[in-house]
Amino acid sequence: MATSDTAPIKTFVDQLSDDVALLVWQEDSSVQFTVPRNWLPPDLTAGDHLWLSFHLDPASKQTTLENLQQLRQELSAGQDPAQLDFKL
């Protein structure tokens, strides 16, 4: 289960296209980012305000680390054991 790491931040929708929305952080308008429209409420319009929050996902991180370990083992099969300590 995800854990909360940050307080929600307030943004507003500056621009909309068919595929993306440009969100602007209300505390600092120089912080802008593009978000796919399908991540957002379907009735979203330009000028709407949104709360965003970010959460760590330890379970997903662990799964990724396990997958990388498996890939490392597959890539190093039959290799010199001294050459097995590498990062992906």
The larger pLDDT score, comparing residue 86 to residue 61, is at: 61
Taken in order 36, 38, 40, 43, is the CA torsion positive or negative?
Answer: positive
pLDDT in tens, 14-69: 999 999 999 999 999 999 999 999 999 999 999 999 999 988 999 999 999 999 98
Task: For the chain, list the domains and their CATH numbers.
Answer: 8-77 (2.30.30)
Q: What is the pLDDT of residue 84?
A: 57
Judge contact between 50 and 12, C-beta under 8 A.
Answer: yes
Cα Rg of the chain, angstroms: 20
What pTM does this model have? 0.66
